[in-house]
C-alpha cells in the first residue's frame, strides 16, 4: 500500500515484491527444466522452486541487494541453500546471468499488469458504447477553447472517448504480444549454455542453446527472442502503450471534472457514500475519481520518459545505472496504470448524465451555437435547416462498429 498514492490498493499484489520473487522463481525453474530437457543437466536436477521463497524473504533479500546491485544474486544463493547439496542446487541458474532472471521477471510482472488493464479496457468500452447508443440524441453544447462552439450530442462525445480507447487498446495489445523472454547469458551470446552443451557432447551446441531458450520461454508463455539485453524496445514500447491508455483516461476524467462543475452540472461521478468530502467544507462533493485519474495521466509520461532515457543511455553489454533505473520505474508505471484503469472503469460504469441540463444549456445558447450554420447557409444562398449535428450519427455508428470488431461481446 502507498499512503501517498490513494487507490494503490486496487493493484493488489500485482508487481509487488512477493510477485516479483515468484516471477524470478518461475524463470529459474523454466530454465532448469529446459536444461534437463535438452540433456545438459541431469534428470535429477529438476525442482519445484515456487515454494522455496516468499514474502518472508523480501526484507532480507532487499537488505542484501545493495551488495551486488541487484536482488538476483541473493535470490539464487537463497534458492541454492534451500535446495541443499543435490543436482538441483548445482545446476540452478547455470547459463543464465542476473539480467536474464531479472528482465524476464519484469516482463512476467508487467504482463500481468497489462492483462488486468486489458480486462478493464473491455469494461470501459462496454460502458462507452452504451453511453454512445443511449445518448446519440442527447443535445449538448460543443465547446472549443473553453467557449461554446456548435451543437453536438453527448453520444458523440462518448463515441469520441471510445475511439481513443480503441486506439489505446490496440497499441497495448501489440505491446503485450511482443513482450519476450530475455535469455542471453553474461553478455548476450549464450556462451555458457553453448559450452555446457558442447561439454555434454551434443551434436549442435548452438542449436541446443537456442532450443533451451525457446523451451524456457514457452514454459513461461512468452515469445522467444534473440537477446535484447541492450535493446530495450520491448519495455519502452509497452510503457508507451500504457501512457497512451493514461492519455485516454485523462481525457475522459478531464471532461467529467469540467462538465461536473456546479455551474455546468451536465455530468457527475458515481455517488458513493463517504467519497468526495472535504475536511472542513461539508457541502463539497469533489470528483475524486476524476482527479485521481488525471493525476496518473499527468505523472505517467515522465515515467515512460525515464525508461526512454535509460534505453538511450545503455553502454557495453550491460550498462552502469541505466538498467537499474528501469526496475522500479516500470513497476510504478505498471501498478499505477492498473489503479487508474480500475478507477476509470468505475467512473464510466456509474457516470451520471443530466440530459435536461445539457439540453437547457444548448437551447439557452441557441443563437451562438448556430452562428456557423447561418454563415454556411449564406454561402450557398440557402436558409439554415436542421439541427446542425452534421455527421454525428454516422460517426457514432462507425465507432460502435470499430468497438464491436475489437470486443466481440459488444456486437
Query: Can you spell out the DSSP letters for 203-266?
Result: S-HHHHHHHHHHHHHHHTT----S--TT--HHHHHHHHHHHHHHHHHHHHHHHHHHHTSTTT-S
* Catalytic residue selected from 318, 357, 359, 365: 318
**Rg value, the chain, Cα:** 27
Give yes or no for a contact between 155 and 392, defined as CB atoms under 8 angstroms apart. yes
Give yes or no for a contact between 58 and 20, defined as CB atoms under 8 angstroms apart. no
- Report the C-alpha gap between 297 and 193 in whole angstroms: 44
For residues 28, 32, 34, 40, the Cα torsion angle rounded to the nearest 10 degrees is: 140
Give yes or no for a contact between 142 and 215, defined as CB atoms under 8 angstroms apart. no
- Report the C-alpha gap between 405 and 58 in whole angstroms: 44
Quick check: is 365 catalytic?
Answer: no
* Catalytic residue selected from 261, 271, 275, 278: 278
Cell of 124: 470501459
Distance of alpha carbon 375 from the chain centroid: 46
**For 139, which DSSP code?**
E
Give yes or no for a contact between 289 and 346, defined as CB atoms under 8 angstroms apart. yes
Residue 404 class from Cβ within 10 Å (0-12 exposed, 13-18 middle, 19+ buried)?
middle
Quick check: is 278 catalytic?
Answer: yes
Cell of 326: 528501469
State how beta strands 352-353 and 139-144 pair. unpaired
> In 10 A of CB 215, how many CB atoms?
19
- Report the C-alpha gap between 28 and 9 in whole angstroms: 29
Residue 265, sorted as left (phi over 0), alpha (psi -120 to 50) or beta, turns out to be left
Active site residues: 278, 318
Amino acid at each position: 500500500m502507498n499512503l501517498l498514492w490513494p487507490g494503490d490498493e486496487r493493484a493488489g499484489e500485482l508487481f509487488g515484491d512477493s510477485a516479483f520473487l515468484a516471477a524470478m522463481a518461475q524463470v529459474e525453474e523454466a530454465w532448469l527444466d529446459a536444461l534437463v530437457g535438452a540433456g545438459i543437466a541431469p534428470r535429477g536436477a529438476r525442482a519445484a522452486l515456487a515454494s522455496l521463497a516468499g514474502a518472508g524473504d523480501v526484507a532480507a533479500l532487499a537488505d542484501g541487494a545493495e551488495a551486488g546491485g541487484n536482488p538476483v544474486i541473493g535470490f539464487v544463493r537463497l534458492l541454492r541453500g534451500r535446495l541443499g547439496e543435490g543436482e538441483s542446487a548445482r545446476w540452478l541458474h547455470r547459463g543464465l546471468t542476473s539480467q536474464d532472471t531479472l528482465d524476464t521477471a519484469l516482463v512476467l510482472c508487467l504482463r500481468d499488469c497489462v492483462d488486468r488493464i486489458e480486462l478493464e479496457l473491455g469494461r470501459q468500452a462496454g460502458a462507452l458504447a452504451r453511453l454512445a447508443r443511449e445518448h446519440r440524441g442527447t443535445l449538448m453544447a460543443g465547446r472549443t477553447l473553453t467557449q461554446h462552439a456548435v451543437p453536438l450530442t453527448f453520444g458523440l462525445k462518448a463515441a469520441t472517448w471510445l475511439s481513443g480507447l480503441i486506439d489505446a487498446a490496440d497499441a497495448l495489445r501489440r505491446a503485450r504480444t511482443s513482450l519476450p523472454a530475455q535469455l542471453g547469458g553474461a553478455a548476450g551470446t549464450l556462451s555458457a549454455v553453448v559450452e555446457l552443451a558442447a561439454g555434454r557432447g551434443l551434436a549442435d551446441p548452438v542449436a541446443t542453446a537456442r532450443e533451451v531458450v525457446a523451451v524456457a520461454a514457452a514454459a513461461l508463455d512468452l515469445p522467444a527472442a534473440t537477446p535484447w539485453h541492450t535493446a530495450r524496445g520491448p519495455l519502452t514500447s509497452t510503457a508507451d502503450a500504457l501512457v497512451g491508455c493514461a492519455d485516454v483516461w485523462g481525457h475522459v476524467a478531464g471532461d467529467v471534472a469540467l462538465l461536473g462543475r456546479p455551474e455546468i452540472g451536465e455530468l457527475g461521478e458515481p455517488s458513493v457514500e463517504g467519497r468526495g468530502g472535504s475536511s472542513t467544507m461539508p457541502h463539497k462533493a469533489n470528483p475524486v475519481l476524476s482527479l485521481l485519474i488525471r493525476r496518473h495521466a499527468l505523472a505517467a509520461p515522465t515515467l515512460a520518459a525515464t525508461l526512454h532515457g535509460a534505453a538511450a543511455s545503455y553502454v557495453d553489454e550491460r550498462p552502469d545505472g541505466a538498467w537499474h533505473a528501469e526496475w522500479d520505474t516500470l513497476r510504478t508505471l505498471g501498478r499505477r496504470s492498473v489503479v487508474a484503469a480500475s478507477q476509470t472503469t468505475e467512473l464510466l460504469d456509474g457516470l451520471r448524465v443530466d440530459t435536461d441540463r445539457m439540453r437547457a444549456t444548448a437551447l439557452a445558447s441557441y443563437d451562438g451555437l448556430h452562428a456557423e450554420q447561418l454563415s454556411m447557409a449564406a454561402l450557398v444562398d440557402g436558409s439554415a435547416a436542421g439541427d446542425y449535428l452534421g455527421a454525428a450519427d454516422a460517426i457514432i455508428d462507425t465507432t460502435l462498429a470499430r468497438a464491436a470488431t475489437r470486443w466481440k461481446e459488444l456486437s
